[in-house]
């Protein structure tokens, strides 16, 4: 490779991967041994948050370096494309002479700017059989990686892994490596409340084994899907080595958001502003540029990823990001932390909140379909599982956090010249009825019946001007 050629970028985005179910982050099940070993070559960030969930604002923040005010995106069903004032990572690198390819993310507004889009089958159902999602991804990614490696230009390859995203249907032997029980035990009633939740029960029935009664089996399927994907990602790591790309390629691993499993009644999905959804993995590996063996506890967010990548690649830009590069930490320097921050969701509920090192405030902007209270307050230090709502017991803390949140909102609205998007995206649910008036209305209105319906929520149409295969 010519000394004048810029480094390559391989960005592995793993949909719905919660950090606390990775052995890389201390999970007792060995779910990510290959990523564990690979991450030891670089820097692991232990407290990375995706504050604006789910997929569209999550990846939107990663691909623009902006928070929800800067990118003006908060909803999964974002109407239209990204605003013209935004420049994506693919657009910056494409304008700097990079070949850019996107695997498995065509049609979503956040994926704007790639020169080439390649899709693969990343969903599934019980009827269709066990899902070989990661193998399907590898089948199209490895040839594309080989093609890019032979080119004269540096390249940016993004791949969106779908294995941790429901349906969780890992192939054998991964479906039972973390489960030795009887998933059809009629004495086990742990899935009863799941199957009684009418908005999602038809969807669950499309991929749960018929007659399954044990929620631990479904959780084990999630973990098995992560382990299966990890084994397939090892093929990507091997290809990087055999193609001679290791010394000239920055590899980044992250997720758009986490996942709720049997947590907080938000069964097997990724809504709810709880830690299991907000806390995500983040890894940078780049020999010679990122010293090996690092683990950083400093809090960081999705908006920090793009400026960090451009910093490590040595690609200059005049863009002003809401995020800040993490490279000072990688080289032992100071980086003022951002310990408290604004959080939003517009997936199946419209809520926002404020998180500090100790407290989590969640404030519903309209009634939700779980019939939860309007205000939730958790002491995340003493109650990391967020099981004890202290809103009524600690009204002073609620008032303090609400004031800090509103002051932040006012500041960002002034800086951007636009209203808070969580206030203006009133058709976030796609029902055209405006905000829900009651939880019963939300419960009766929101429904997902099949994997195809779930897929349609995220994959709208291919971006104009891009090539799709």
pLDDT for the residue numbered 5: 82
Q: Residue 460: pLDDT band by 50, 70, 90 thresholds? A: low
Mean pLDDT of the 27-46 span: 98
Tell me what the mean pLDDT of segment 235-261 comes to. 97
Could you tell me the pLDDT band of residue 457, with boundaries at 50, 70 and 90? low
Averaged pLDDT for residues 329-338: 94
Q: What is the mean pLDDT of residues 198-208?
A: 94
Answer positive or negative: Cα dihedral of 330, 334, 339, 345. negative
Cα–Cα distance for residue pair 306/195, rounded to 1 Å: 40
Q: What pLDDT sits at residue 175?
A: 96
If pLDDT is split at 50, 70 and 90, which confidence band does 332 have?
very high
Contact 347, 76 (CB under 8 A): yes
Please tell me the predicted confidence (pLDDT) of residue 124. Answer: 84
Per-residue pLDDT at 454: 64
For range 422-439, the mean pLDDT: 93
| pLDDT average, residue stretch 195-204 | 95
Helix 133-150 with 215-242: angle, nearest 10 deg: 20
Q: Which two tokens stand for residue 209?
A: 């084994």
DSSP classification of residue 326: -
How many other C-beta atoms can be found within 10 angstroms of the C-beta atom of residue 248?
17
pLDDT at 4 over 80: no
The string of DSSP letters for 228-275 reads HHHHHHHHHHHHHHHTT-GGGEEEEEE-S---BSSSTT-TTBS-SSSH
Instruction: Quote the DSSP letter at residue 129.
Output: B
Per-position DSSP letters for 451-467, written without gaps between them = HHHHHHHH---PPTT-E
* Residue 297: CB atoms within 10 Å: 9
Max avg pLDDT among 73-82, 151-160, 423-432 = 151-160
How many CB atoms are located within 10 Å of the residue 241 CB?
9
What value does the mean pLDDT of the chain take? 94
pLDDT given for residue 283 in this prediction = 98
pLDDT for the residue 1: 42
Question: What domains can you pick out in the chain, each with its CATH number?
Answer: 8-331 (3.40.720.10), 341-445 (3.30.1120.10)
Question: Does the pLDDT value for residue 80 go beyond 50?
Answer: yes
**Residue (of 32, 398, 439) closest to 234 by Cα position:** 32
Task: Check residue 304 and report its DSSP letter.
Answer: G
pLDDT of residue 269: 96
Separation of CA 423 from chain center: 22
Tell me the CA end-to-end span of the chain in Å, nearest whole number.
28
Least confident of 180-184, 405-409, 425-429: 425-429
Q: Are 124 and 135 in contact (CB under 8 A)?
A: no
- The per-residue pLDDT for 465 is 43
Residue 85 above 70 pLDDT?
A: yes
pLDDT tens, residue by residue, 157-187 = 999 999 999 999 999 999 999 999 999 999 9
DSSP state of 128: T
- For residue 464, is pLDDT > 90? no
Give how far the C-alpha of residue 384 lies from the chain's centroid of Cα atoms, to the nearest Å: 20
- DSSP SS3 for 20: helix
Neighbours of 434 (CB within 10 A): 10
- 361 exposure class (CB count in 10 Å sphere: 0-12, 13-18, 19+): buried
pLDDT at residue 354 greater than cutoff 70: yes
Side-chain-facing half-sphere of 304: CA atoms under 13 Å: 24
Per-residue pLDDT at 458: 61
% of the chain with per-residue pLDDT over 70 = 95
Q: Could you tell me the strand order of the sheet in which 375-379 lies?
A: 52-53, 341-346, 350-355, 359-364, 375-379
Q: Rounded to two decimals, what is the model's pTM?
A: 0.94
The answer to whether the CB of 91 falls within 8 A of the CB of 140 is no
Cβ–Cβ under 8 Å, residues 111 and 101: no
Confidence check: pLDDT of 42 > 90: yes
């Amino acid at each position: 490779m010519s000394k004048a050629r810029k480094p390559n970028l391989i960005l592995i985005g793993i949909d719905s991967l919660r950090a606390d179910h990775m052995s890389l982050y201390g999970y007792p099940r060995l779910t990510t041994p290959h990523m564990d070993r690979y991450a030891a070559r670089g820097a692991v960030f232990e407290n990375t948050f995706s504050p604006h969930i789910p997929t569209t604002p999550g990846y939107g923040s990663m691909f623009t370096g902006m928070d929800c005010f800067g990118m003006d995106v908060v909803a999964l069903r974002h109407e239209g494309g990204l605003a013209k004032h935004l420049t994506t990572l693919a657009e910056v690198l494409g304008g700097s002479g990079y070949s850019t390819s996107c695997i498995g993310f065509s049609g979503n507004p956040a994926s704007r700017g790639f020169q080439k889009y390649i899709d693969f089958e990343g969903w599934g159902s019980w009827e269709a059989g066990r899902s070989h999602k990661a193998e399907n991804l590898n089948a199209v990614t490895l040839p594309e990686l080989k093609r890019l490696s032979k080119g004269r230009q540096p390249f940016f390859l993004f791949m969106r892994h779908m294995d941790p995203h429901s349906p969780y249907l890992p192939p054998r032997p991964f479906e039972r490596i973390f489960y030795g029980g009887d998933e059809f035990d009629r004495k086990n009633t742990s899935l009863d409340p799941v199957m009684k939740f009418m908005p999602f029960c038809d969807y669950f029935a499309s991929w749960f084994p018929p007659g399954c009664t044990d929620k631990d089996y479904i959780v084990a399927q999630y973990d098995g899907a992560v382990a299966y994907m990890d084994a397939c990602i090892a093929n990507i790591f091997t290809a990087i080595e055999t193609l001679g790309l290791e010394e000239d390629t920055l590899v980044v691993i992250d997720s758009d958001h986490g996942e709720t499993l049997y947590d907080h009644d938000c069964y097997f999905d990724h809504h709810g502003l709880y830690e299991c959804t907000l806390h995500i993995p983040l890894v940078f590996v780049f020999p010679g540029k990122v010293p090996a063996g690092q683990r950083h506890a400093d809090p960081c967010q999705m908006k920090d990823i793009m400026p960090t990548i451009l910093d490590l690649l040595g690609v200059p830009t005049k863009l002003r990001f809401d995020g800040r590069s993490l490279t000072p930490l990688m080289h032992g320097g100071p980086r003022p932390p951002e310990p408290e921050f604004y959080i939003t969701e517009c997936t199946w509920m419209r809520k926002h909140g404020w998180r500090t090192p100790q407290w989590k405030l969640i404030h519903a902007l309209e009634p939700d379909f779980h019939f939860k209270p309007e205000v939730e307050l958790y002491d995340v230090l003493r109650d990391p599982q967020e099981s004890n709502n202290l809103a009524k017991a600690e009204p002073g803390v609620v008032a303090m956090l609400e004031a800090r949140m509103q002051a932040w909102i006012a500041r960002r609205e002034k800086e951007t010249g636009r209203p808070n998007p969580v206030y203006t995206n009133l058709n976030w649910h796609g029902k055209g009825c405006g905000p829900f008036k009651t939880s019963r209305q939300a419960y009766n209105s929101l429904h997902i019946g099949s994997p195809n319906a779930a897929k349609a929520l995220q994959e709208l149409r291919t971006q104009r001007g891009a090539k799709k295969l």
